[in-house]
Each structure stands twice: as C-alpha cells, then as structure tokens.
Amino acid sequence: MNRQRKIKILVFVICLVLLFGFYKFIAQPKLKLTPLNNFEHDLSENNMLEYDSLKNDNLQINAEQTLNKNKTVVKRNVISDPNSAESMESEQLTTNNQESDSLTFPVHIMGAVKQPGVYQVNTGMIIQDVIELSGGLKSDADLLLVNLAEPVQANTKIYIPNKEEIEQDLLRYEMNFNSQMKFVTDKSAVEKSHKVNLNTADFDLLQTLTGIGPVKAQAILDFREQNGNFQVIEEIMSVPGIKEAGFAKIKDQIVVN
C-alpha cells in the first residue's frame, strides 16, 4: 500500500517536472516571440501604407505640375500665335474700323459758297467741313436757317441761302401769316353776320333762336326797352324765363353790337 502511494507521488512529481519544462523551454519562448512578430508585422504594414500614401501624393503633385506646365505652354502659344482666332478677329475689327473711317461719299453744295459743286466727303463730317471744301462762304451768305454742326448725309444737297433770299422768305412768311389771319377774321365776321343781334332783332327774328318762343321773345324786347341795349350776350340770362340752360342753347347764335 505504501509502495503504490510512493509510485503515485513519484508520477505526480515527474508530471510536474515535465509541465514546468514544457512551459519553461517551449511555451514561454513562443509567447514572447508572438507579440514581437505581430508588432513587426503591424509596423511593416504601417510603413507600407505610409509609403504608398507618400508615393500617391508625389504622383499627384507631379501630375498637377505637368498639367500647369502644359496650360502655360498652351496659353503662351495662343497669345504668341499671330494666326489665332482672337488675333484674327482683332485684326478684322481694326480693318473694319479703318475702312469705316476711310468711307467717302458725294454731297452737292449750292448757294452762297465760293465754289459750289459735288465733293467727296468722309464719314463724320459736318456742313461746316463741306463749306470749307467749297472755298468758304460768300459775303452775302446768311446762316440764319443753317445748322453748321449738322452731320452730312450721303448723296444729299446742301443749300446756303443769301441775305436777299432770307428776306424774301420772311416777307413771304409774313404775307402768308397775314393772309391766314385775314381769313380767320373774315370767317369770324361771316359767322357773326349770321348771328342774331340782341340789340336790333325784332319779335320774329328772336323766335328763330333755339328754345325762344313768342313769350320769351317778347320778354327780351321788354327787357331791352326797360334797361337799354345788351352789353354782353351773357346779360340775356337776366331776362325772365331764360337761365343758364337756355343760354347754353343760344350762346353760339347770338351777338351784341
């Protein structure tokens, strides 16, 4: 019995020694190496990521620099290229402006100038310029009705009148004006001649007025006999039976002389 117990104790001790040896010489070294290997692996992965990131950044910077350089080259080529569209357009505009400035057309100047005739003038010239081309004004020229600053139109006639012509025009204008005034006066006289004179009209003539019957005609005669002649046509509204409404109907038919 004691012998079996001793054998068990010996086996237990041997197992402990084996376990200690396994841990000491096999398990423990592996435990120490595993974190280190993991750390080295992680460190290697991080370095690779940083390297890739730096490499991508450098590639992007290089690409941007190349693109900017290409843009600069293209821009310089466009500016320096005399055959570019902008250059050609600018040259065309300059040519058109020069052609517009150099455009000429004929005008005919007559009247009180020293050398009347047809002259070629440039765009933008005024009547004063054409007068100078024709040798200037004569001594009897009258510029009352001439605008020297007026732009010259193509293929037109410019006439410079003299003083006698201006006087004749003014005389004709005055005669025409007087004629028109005389016509208006005569027309007014004719119209008045067809109107009824309140101071001379008799009983029958008064009844030809709109709205005036025998009663009102007699009232007008009575008023005129009592107060004398009418001074203005509005005074008829003082006659009994004739008010503003009645006066409005006959005011264009009556007159006072």
122 shares its domain with 90: no
Q: List pLDDT tens digits, range 153-211.
A: 999 999 999 999 988 888 888 877 877 776 666 555 545 558 999 999 999 999 999 99
Domain that holds residue 239: 195-255
What DSSP state is assigned to residue 111? E
**Residue finishing a domain among 54, 72, 102:** 102
Number of domains in the chain: 3
Q: List pLDDT tens digits, range 11-42.
A: 888 888 787 777 777 766 665 545 444 444 44
2 shares its domain with 70: yes
**Residue finishing a domain among 161, 179, 206:** 161
114 shares its domain with 87: no
pTM: 0.34
Q: What is the CATH number of the domain that holds 223?
A: 1.10.150.280
User: How crowded is residue 107: how many other Cβ atoms within 10 Å of its Cβ?
Assistant: 21
77 shares its domain with 4: yes
